[in-house]
């Protein structure tokens, strides 16, 4: 190798990338972590002003009847009572988006329930301004780095990865990080070469860098021979791996293979005929801005798009799994150990406003196709029961408003050892999905984002496989479906053990589909 500097770390097995370095001084995150009431109020006031300006511009080029509607909307946007209600929510610690939605909720319900047709029609105008302000709240410029460059930093927020355009290539080099973290999982799913845990080093931005995700090293100032080797290897191994769609391996076998989706682009490059549906939709990664968490309409559209893509096959949508290494928009509290804190269903039940918005979007989408709901980070049966109650309350509210809904099956992630060991007590869950990424970290007491203990993952395998077998038996005894959606399912080396323990449904990243289906075909499990 002719590079002036060669760094070693752990690769993600996604081939090579070359490009100019983008050196990030701090771990970039498009969203801040703490809510400041004065800042939230400022954001909301600005978004309302922007919305008023946009409506005024529309009035100037519209005919009188539409102008009347727009004037009514401006009047509502200027209504001091609404502003006051939103300010009260902000003062309670809520962010701008949720405060705005909460302030309008009663007005919308009041209009919707009116006996008078004209007043009832105003509800749509109110929903329109609610969503217009939410869109304006999204308008904050997101932090990004130049397309095609190699991101170099201490760590990388999953939301930054998702906001970036990877179509022009580029890679990731992290001083810390781990191949089991959420950002590593996203990079694998997209086929972006990544090397983590290289330790600290200094580099000027724009320095040419080669990232070898297969062998886990980075070359700064790569020479001609390095680049030629990377070029040959990239040609030999398809980077994006989504070519799996035409692998020719038969479906409908003894083991059902579904896909994990974390990014809308993944369904755009995958034919739904290549799998048996979506086994895990990580909804927390689909939204580009915290304001979207308050946007029922946007969420409904996204879920509908998934159902349309799946064309009648099941779509399992997980409730927002925020917290841990997935902070978004200032939710949650400052925690010393976020993986053991307010994460997943715990956070949602502590923030029912956010949960109820997502529940409504899901209930509406469920009317369009076979949608199932998955609860993240469940520890005790009461969490499933409380969530189910919220689904029932919201379903009743939507039905009162004559909105089409359907009650989906409600299942739970099995990713906390306490739940895995007591599955027989979760009678209120309709189905189970083993989340081995978290189950492993909690079993081995080794953070999935911590490179210094990541090898403990390997040592946890016997305990993990024993627990999986026990959970599968418990689910079968309850006559409830159980599958696995953690990364372990996408590793062909583990398929024999998983199948031996009774697993017949797996959900894997699109990039892993081909290898998994080939391994199943060899084992005669593809039917």
- Site for ligand PEP contains 435 (CB under 6 A): yes
Q: Of residues 31, 182, 275, 289, which has the active-site annotation?
A: 182
Nearest to Mg ion of 284, 438 (CB atom): 438
Selected range binding ligand PEP among 191-199, 222-230, 419-427, 430-438, rule: CB under 6 A: 430-438
- Site for ligand PEP contains 415 (CB under 6 A): yes
Distance of CA 422 to the CA centre of its chain: 27
Q: In this chain, which of 415, 449, 487, 526 binds Mg ion, going by CB under 5 A?
A: 415
Does residue 268 have an active-site annotation? Answer: no
Minimum distance between the CB of residue 387 and ligand PEP, rounded to whole angstroms? 17
Residue 509, contacted partner among Mg ion, ligand PEP, none, CB below 5-8 A by kind: none
* Ranges within 346-405 binding Mg ion (CB under 5 A): none
Minimum distance between the CB of residue 282 and ligand PEP, rounded to whole angstroms? 5
| Per-residue tokens: 35 | 């809510």
Number of residues interacting with ligand PEP: please give it, by CB under 6 A.
11
Sign of CA dihedral 375, 379, 380, 383: negative
Cβ-based neighbours of 342, under 8 Å, separated by 6 or more = 323, 332, 333, 335, 350
Looking up tokens 């053990």, which residue turns up? Answer: 497
Closest CB to Mg ion belongs to which residue? 438
List helix spans (H) across 113-157. 117-137
Dihedral in degrees, nearest 10, Cα atoms 211, 212, 217, 223: -70
Minimum distance between the CB of residue 325 and ligand PEP, rounded to whole angstroms? 9
Nearest to Mg ion of 18, 437 (CB atom): 437
Q: In this chain, which of 485, 489, 508, 509 binds ligand PEP, going by CB under 6 A?
A: 485
Does residue 485 have an active-site annotation? Answer: yes
List helix spans (H) across 165-317. 182-190, 224-236, 264-268, 296-310
Cα gap 194→212, rounded to integer Å: 7
Q: Cβ atoms within 10 A of the Cβ of 348, count?
A: 28
How does strand 217-220 pair with strand 208-212? antiparallel
Nearest to ligand PEP of 319, 520 (CB atom): 319
Question: What letter does residue 326 receive in the DSSP assignment?
Answer: B
Q: In this chain, which of 131, 266, 296, 321 binds ligand PEP, going by CB under 6 A?
A: 321
Contact flags string 161-200 toward ligand PEP, x per CB under 6 A:
------------------------x---------------
List helix spans (H) across 421-512. 436-444, 456-459, 461-478, 495-500
Q: In this chain, which of 43, 122, 282, 360 binds ligand PEP, going by CB under 6 A?
A: 282
| Per-residue tokens: 357 | 């918005």
Distance of CA 465 to CAs 49, 208, 258, 336, Å? Answer: 56, 43, 21, 30
Nearest to ligand PEP of 266, 321 (CB atom): 321
- Site for Mg ion contains 435 (CB under 5 A): yes
Nearest to ligand PEP of 99, 507 (CB atom): 507
Residue 212, contacted partner among ligand PEP, Mg ion, none, CB below 5-8 A by kind: none
- Among residues 69, 97, 103, which one has the least CA distance to residue 84? 103
- Site for ligand PEP contains 436 (CB under 6 A): yes
Cα gap 371→502, rounded to integer Å: 24
Q: In this chain, which of 112, 276, 438, 526 binds Mg ion, going by CB under 5 A?
A: 438
Selected range binding ligand PEP among 19-27, 150-158, 434-442, 467-475, rule: CB under 6 A: 434-442
| Active-site amino acid positions | 182, 485
Interface residues with Mg ion (CB under 5 A) are 415, 435, 438
């Amino acid at each position: 190798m002719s590079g002036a500097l060669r760094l070693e770390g752990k690769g993600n097995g996604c081939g090579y990338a070359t490009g100019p370095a983008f050196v990030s001084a701090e771990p970039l995150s498009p969203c801040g972590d703490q809510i400041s009431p004065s800042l939230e109020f400022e954001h909301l006031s600005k978004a309302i002003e922007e919305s008023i300006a946009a409506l005024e511009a529309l009035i100037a080029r519209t005919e009188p009847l539409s102008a009347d509607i727009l004037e009514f909307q401006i009047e509502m946007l200027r209504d001091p009572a609404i502003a006051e209600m939103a300010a009260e929510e902000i003062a309670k610690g809520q962010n701008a988006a949720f405060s705005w939605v909460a302030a309008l909720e009663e007005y919308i319900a009041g209009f919707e329930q009116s006996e008078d047709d004209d007043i009832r029609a105003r509800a749509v105008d109110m929903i329109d301004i609610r969503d217009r302000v939410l869109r304006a709240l999204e308008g904050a410029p997101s932090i990004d780095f130049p397309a095609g460059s190699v991101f170099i930093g201490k760590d990388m927020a999953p939301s930054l990865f998702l906001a970036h355009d990877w179509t022009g290539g580029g890679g990731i080099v992290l001083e810390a990080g781990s191949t089991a973290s959420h950002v590593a999982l996203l990079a694998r799913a997209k086929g972006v070469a990544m090397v983590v845990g290289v330790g600290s080093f200094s580099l000027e931005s724009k320095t040419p860098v080669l990232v070898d995700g297969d062998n886990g090293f980075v070359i700064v100032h790569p020479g001609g021979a390095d680049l030629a080797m990377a070029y040959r290897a990239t040609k030999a191994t398809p980077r994006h791996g989504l070519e799996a769609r035409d692998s020719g391996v038969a479906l409908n076998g003894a083991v059902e293979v579904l896909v994990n989706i974390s990014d809308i682009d993944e369904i755009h490059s995958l034919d739904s005929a290549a799998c048996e549906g979506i086994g895990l939709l990580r909804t927390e990664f689909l939204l580009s801005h915290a304001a979207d968490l308050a946007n029922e309409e946007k969420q409904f559209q996204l879920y509908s798009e998934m159902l349309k893509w799946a064309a009648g096959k099941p779509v399992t949508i997980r409730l927002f799994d925020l917290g841990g290494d997935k902070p978004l928009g200032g939710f949650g509290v400052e925690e010393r150990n976020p993986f053991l804190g307010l994460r997943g269903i715990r956070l949602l039940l502590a923030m029912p406003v956010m949960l109820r918005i997502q529940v409504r979007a899901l209930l509406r989408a469920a009317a369009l196709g076979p949608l199932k709901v998955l609860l993240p980070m469940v520890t005790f049966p009461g969490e499933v029961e409380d969530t189910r109650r919220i689904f029932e309350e919201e379903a009743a509210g939507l039905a009162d408003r004559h909105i089409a809904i359907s009650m989906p099956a409600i299942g739970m992630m099995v990713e906390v050892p306490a739940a895995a060991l007591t599955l027989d007590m979760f009678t209120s869950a309709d189905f189970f999905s083993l989340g081995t990424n978290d189950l492993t970290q909690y079993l081995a007491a080794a953070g999935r984002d911590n490179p210094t203990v990541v090898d403990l993952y390997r040592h946890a395998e016997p305990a993990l496989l024993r627990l999986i077998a026990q959970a599968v038996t418990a689910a079968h005894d309850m006559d409830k479906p159980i599958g696995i959606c953690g990364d372990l399912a996408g590793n062909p080396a583990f398929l024999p053990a998983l199948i031996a323990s009774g697993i017949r449904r797996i959900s894997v990243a699109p990039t892993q589909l081909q290898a998994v289906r080939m391994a199943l075909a060899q084992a005669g499990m593809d039917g």
